[in-house]
Structure 1
């Protein structure tokens, strides 16, 4: 099946468009894939990684607040740090819920998050227990301090009373009993001192236990020997209680040690729980980071695939375009060369040329049309050749008749030209008179018009000068008002200057008082210096403004003087303008008389000119008719000669064609 060239070109462009669509579709598919990968990163992987890092930060801050609370001794500060710890853990658990919502479609990761949540609850439980033990330890420490102070006070009171008693008593048996009691008290105090030095609670308990009740026994012996010993009964019993009763000092030391041991154990458990929670969180962060890196790798692979696919499709499209261009050029070049050769022969006058119309494409249709044109052109040339021969014969006869007519009309034209010249000279003389009259009248009209225009301009000038004189009067009044305003501004500036001076003095006094106050007045001294500087700048500014006002007042006085001079000159101009207006009125009357006389002269000259023009017109008409007749004969002769030349030229041209 043979296709036309337009069909081939259409199919080629259709294939090219299809290739472009394939390239565009491949690019869109690649971009869609890349977009999906990037969305996975931005909407899934990256948010999980960010919240995981935030979760780790909250956990570390919670642990930091826990240790801050453990380092505090004040209950209020401990409560503040504990609250911060709870808030951090709440943020940690809230982030867990956010992660769970992001990972709802991954059950295995949801299990991991559940495990992290359990570890978080365990860590919170352990940390709460640590804080409770820390509070208990602080309470015990406060009790120990109070008991130590109380024991020291009571022991010192007993020792002092016994020393005074020994110094004043002559009861030897009672003195010995008193010394035994104080030695027993001293032994107990020595054990406390050793405990303070070495913190050996076991040794304290071992050395204290054998002396249980000994102090009370020694006191009772002393009481039997000395009735006045009853004075210190309120001191001995509490001291004995401090050493051997529940909630006594020794018991509190044991409670303190037990609480400290429990706190250390609980801290160990808390540390283990924290390590487990941190490890689980770190593992989840590693997974999130791995997931993000995997998503980035997938996006990069999708980008590379899209780039490679687009490159391949583009190269395929270029190859398809080159192939289509090659086929199209080859189908056009050969027949086009044949038509070019045939048209070259036709351009040289060969009317026997023929185009190949057997092709079934557009070139065949074109060949058929061109063959029709060549055939028609050949017939037209043959008919022109026949007509040209007949035209040559007719042109020769017309040329001879036209030459005879031209000679006769030339003689008649010479006679008419002589009569016409005389009439023209007369018409020229009368026309010059009329022209001069008209020119004079026009000049008079122009002069009159200009005079009226000058009168109007003088009137406008007079009005303008009067308006200017009024404006100058107003300007003088405004200048006087400005001078009054500048005087008022001077008074205001004087007041501002006085205020600035007073402000400067107040700032100086404030600076002196601030210097007397020492470091406490340093900030106030800075403010006083700024106020003094502001007052100084205000004073300088008022001086400058006052100087400018003085200059302005001088300028205003000069403006008033100039305005008054301008007003006097304007009044003088009004007088001159009135005089000019009267002179112009007199001149307008004279111009009107001249215009009337010139009008009469122009009318007489126009009547003479019309009479001469009628005679000259008749002669010119006759002469013109004769000239036209002569020219017509001459043109007829020339036309016949030209027609003969054209006929000969056509004969020469027709010889160039091959029929």
Structure 2
């Protein structure tokens, strides 16, 4: 068996070990699930027993309420609670197992059937009892009313003895009915003395009571009611006995059902504990077996894997120390056996390989020394070529800088010429505007001078009109003077005319004075208009000359613009040529720079080759030292 397992793969071994553990875990899980299901089933049974107990309690409470009230609502509640209890009993027949519990459930079901019948009997007895009580209360009330009517009418008569007898009978009737009601309310049998001797005494006293003729009918009615009440009282014991018996029967049945349900509850609780203990024992046993088997498989598989792994580690440690002379082989067929044999093959292969590497390292060392000498000579030649290329690149770079400077200057001159051309164009536009403004000014001055001449002519006309006004004023003054003289001659008759003549003479005097002032103003206006006309004529001549000079300046600006255009074209040609020369210089500079970079790369590559050859020689020595660490055959 051990040999068989040794030749199995590690996965198979681990599968057997873990598979066994998983099987044990599955067994434990199945046992746990079975136990949980058992406990759940038992919990349902315990819950059902509690439901039976609670429902039976509700039935008992509903029965007590019905026995107290006797109403149809409480009767329906009692029936519904009983039906609910019956439904739980039917469920218990299905759920519960075990002969003893099934027998108890069967007994309870039989008791429930009797209980339902007893409820029907109780309801009938209670209905009869309530009917008797209702009729008795009605009759008793009518009897009280009749006694009250008789006493009331007797109070109106002079028959004192009859009145006292009627009042005594009424009191005795009240005491009798009060005692009877006390027993009825307690659901007890009425004592025979009350319904025979005491009742008969009240009946006889009523029958022997002497009343007037008008009250005789009331007396006979009362006697009839007493007879009816007596009949009800005689029926009461049998109905009361029936009610009491039905109550006692129900209570006896309920007591048996209580005991049965209590026994079911106790049995279910006891079996619930037994199930828990059994499940706990099973789980403990299965878990202990699983742990022991797990430990066994763990130790066994560890032995099957760890021991050959130590052999492999020992062989690997010898190879790691440089010992390649050992011969490794095993007959195991698992991965560790294959690994051990492969390590032995690897040791043999490494032995052969290291031997060949030692021979190659010796040849590599000699070759690397020769390559190092050749690489150093090539490096010196590359450095010399690099220096000469750097000098050429520097000269080309300086020439390129000079050409670029010329191109920039030519471009600056072209830009300055362009700017000058813009300024000349702006001046040309300004002069054109000035010429137009001067022409417009000359036209305005001509128009103004003509207006001034017209103004002078009109002021002259005003002077002529003013002369006429002055002549009229002088003539008016003379006429007023003559009128004043004539008024003085006329005496008192001409005093009014003299006043008018004075006013006219004063008006004529003021008119002459105003005409004099207007004349002075007209003279000043004419003088000012003459001066303005002369200045306008002078300004017109001056603006005409300025317009001619501005036209000459405009022609001069046009000539300057043409010359600047020529300069701009020449500057652009120079800039273009300089730019082309600069581009050619840049191309040469880039070519030389590329050559210089190639020379740098070549020199760097040569230096790298020297370093690589030097490193190769160093590595060959190191490799030789490393191969000397191995022990080979």
Coarse TM-score class (shorter-chain normalised): 0.5 to 0.7
Distance 1:194 1:604, change over 3 A: closer
Partner deviation per Cα, 1:375-402 (whole Å, 9 max, x = no partner): 2222222122222223333344444455
Q: Does 1:192 align with 2:169?
A: yes
**Cα distance in 2, alignment partners of residues 250 and 132 from structure 1:** 22
Aligned partners of 2:217 and 2:606: how far apart in 1? 171
2 CA distance for matches of 1:186 and 1:421?
A: 166
Q: Say yes or no: does 1:12 pair with 2:11.
A: no
Aligned length: 448
Residues 1:392 and 2:365 are matched in the alignment = yes
Counterpart selection for 1:24 from 26, 29, 43: 29
Asked whether 1:46 is paired with 2:47, we answer: no
Aligned equivalents of 2:371 and 2:601: distance in 1? 18
The answer to whether the 8 A contact 1:49-1:289 is kept is yes
Q: 1:261 to 1:643 in 2, by over 3 A?
A: same
1:321-372 Cα deviation digits (max 9, x unpaired) = 3322222222222222222222122122222134342333322110111122
Q: Check conservation: 1:339, 1:355, Cα contact below 8 A.
A: no
Q: Provide the C-alpha distance between the structure 2 equivalents of 1:410 and 1:211, rounded to a whole number of angstroms.
A: 166
The answer to whether residue 125 in structure 2 is matched with residue 120 in structure 1 is: no
Structure 1, gaps ≥5 residues long: 67-81, 164-181, 217-231, 442-592
Taking a change above 3 Å as real, the CA distance of residues 147 and 600 of structure 1, as seen in their structure-2 partners, is: farther
Q: Give the equivalent residue in structure 2 for 1:375.
A: 348
Structure 2 equivalent of residue 148 of structure 1: 147
Inter-CA distance 607–154: structure 2 relative to 1 (3 Å threshold): closer
Change (3 A) 1:13 1:97: closer
1:374, distance to aligned residue in structure 2 (A): 1.7
* Aligned counterparts of 1:367 and 1:410: Cα–Cα separation in 2: 58
Q: 1:205 to 1:294 in 2, by over 3 A?
A: closer
Contact persistence 2:147–2:170 (CA under 8 A): no
Question: Which of 236, 246, 249 is matched with 1:263 structurally?
Answer: 236
CA deviation after TM superposition for structure 1 residue 13, in Å: 0.7
In 1, the alpha carbon distance for the partners of 2:244 and 2:624 equals 126
CA separation in 1, counterparts of 2:241 and 2:293? 76
1:24 to partner: Cα distance? 0.8
Q: 1:87 and 2:76 equivalent?
A: yes
Cross-structure match for 2:63: 59
Segment drifting more, 248-257 vs 622-631 = 622-631
Cα displacement string for residues 460-506 of structure 1 (whole angstroms, at most 9, x for unaligned residues): xxxxxxxxxxxxxxxxxxxxxxxxxxxxxxxxxxxxxxxxxxxxxxx
Q: Distance in 2 between matches of 1:641 and 1:215?
A: 166
Report the CA distance shift for 1:337/1:597 in structure 2 as closer, same or farther (over 3 A). Answer: farther
Query: Alpha carbon RMSD of aligned pairs, Å?
Result: 4.4
Is residue 235 from structure 1 mapped to residue 214 from structure 2 by the alignment?
yes
Alignment match, 2:395: 422
Mean Cα displacement is larger for which, 406-415 or 329-338? Answer: 406-415
Q: Which has the larger radius of gyration?
A: 2
Q: Aligned in 2, Cα 1:297/1:349: closer, same or farther, shift over 3 Å? A: same
**Contact map agreement 2:147 2:166 (CA 8 A) in 1:** no
Q: 1:386-429 deviations in whole A, cap 9, x for unaligned?
A: 22223333344444455555556666665555444433332344
Q: Where in structure 2 are the equivalents of 1:257-336 lying within 5 Å? A: 257=230, 259-260=232-233, 262-263=235-236, 266-336=239-309
CA contact (8 A) 1:65 1:84 kept: no
Residue of structure 2 equivalent to 1:138: 137
Q: Distance in 1 between matches of 2:602 and 2:77?
A: 126
TM-score where L is the length of structure 1: 0.57
For residues 237-284 of structure 1, give each alpha carbon's deviation from its aligned partner in whole angstroms, at most 9, with x where no partner exists: 548xx3xxxx65456445535533543553354234213312322331
Correspondences of 1:577-616 after superposition (within 5 Å) = 603-613=576-586, 616=589
Output the CA distance in 1 between the equivalents of 2:312 and 2:408: 75
* Contact kept in structure 2, 1:103 and 1:110, CA below 8 Å: no
Q: Secondary structure at the match of 2:136?
A: helix
Distance 2:594 2:170 in 1: 164
Gaps of 5+ in 2: 95-104, 177-193, 415-564
Deviations 1:543-589 (A, max 9, x none): xxxxxxxxxxxxxxxxxxxxxxxxxxxxxxxxxxxxxxxxxxxxxxx
Q: CA 1:9–1:204 in structure 2 vs 1: closer, same or farther (change >3 Å)?
A: closer
Cα contact 1:61–1:88 (8 A) shared by 2: no
Relative distance call for 1:337 and 1:655 in structure 2 (3 A) is same
Structure 2 Cα separation of the partners of residues 192 and 17 of structure 1: 101
Cα distance change of structure 1 residues 250 and 335 upon mapping to structure 2, 3 Å threshold = same
2-side partners of 1:186 and 1:406: how far apart? 167
How many Å separate the matches in 2 of 1:613 and 1:596? 25
In structure 1, how many angstroms separate the alpha carbons of the residues matched to 2:88 and 2:605? 114
Taking the TM superposition and a 5 Å limit, the aligned residue runs for 1:458-473 are none
Q: 3-state SS of the aligned residue for 1:349?
A: coil
Aligned residues of 1:126 and 1:266 also touching (Cα < 8 A): yes
Given the superposition, is the C-alpha separation of residues 345 and 432 from structure 1 closer, same or farther in structure 2, using an over 3 Å criterion? farther
Q: CA deviation at 1:117?
A: 1.9
- Change over 3 Å in CA distance of 1:103–1:336 after alignment to 2: closer
